[in-house]
Amino acid sequence: MRDTVQAEVTMTFLVSQDLSFRIPVELSYDSSDPYAVEITFHLPGDAPVSWAFARELLLDGLSRPTGEGDVRIAPASPEGLSDVFIRLQVGCERALFRAGAAPLVAFLDRTDRVVPFGQEPAACDPVGDLDAELHRILAEDRYAG
């Protein structure tokens, strides 16, 4: 069974030290790809831009700097959950966003109810689902006759 979780949040796009603006952002999670989350940024005047990366990266980034390469996430301050910086990079181009931790925690909590953290391999096992379904069908046949 395929379950999805979606949320809409507002993040601040930090263009420079002097220029920033708030943008709508969609967060999505699909149990058919239980390791990943997708973030879609709706930048003014541009087509939406989507990034997919590890759900665990987002979770870890709430409490400590994490990530290598294209996606890096870090708390904005060392004191508890407040805001989080999300930095995306393609080649020399970088984009920096600031998001409240609370809506990210709420989103991750909802994904955890669909596929608990650490249980992703079981969600990826279509053979297990097939075996369970076959067992159910055979059990029904046995009692139907």
Residue 19 confidence (pLDDT) above 80? yes
Residue 33 is classified by DSSP as S
DSSP per-residue codes, 92-133: TEEEEEEEEHHHHHHHHHHHHHHS-TT-HHHHT-HHHHHHHH
Q: What is the pLDDT of residue 136?
A: 66
67 backbone φψ class: left, alpha, beta (φ>0; ψ -120 to 50): left
Residue 78 confidence (pLDDT) above 60? yes
- Please give the model's pTM, rounded to 2 decimal places: 0.80
Task: Please check whether residue 4 is in contact with residue 25, taking contact to mean a CB–CB distance below 8 angstroms.
Answer: no
Residue 80 confidence (pLDDT) above 70? no
Residue 122 confidence (pLDDT) above 90? no
If you average pLDDT over every residue of the chain, what do you get?
87
Angle at 37 between CA 36 and CA 40, to 5 degrees: 140
Q: What is the pLDDT of residue 75?
A: 94
d(CA 32, CA 21): 34
Q: What is the pLDDT of residue 145?
A: 54
Residue 66 confidence (pLDDT) above 90? yes
The proportion of the chain whose per-residue pLDDT surpasses 70, expressed as a percent, equals: 85
Domains contained in the chain, CATH given: 4-119 (2.30.31.20)
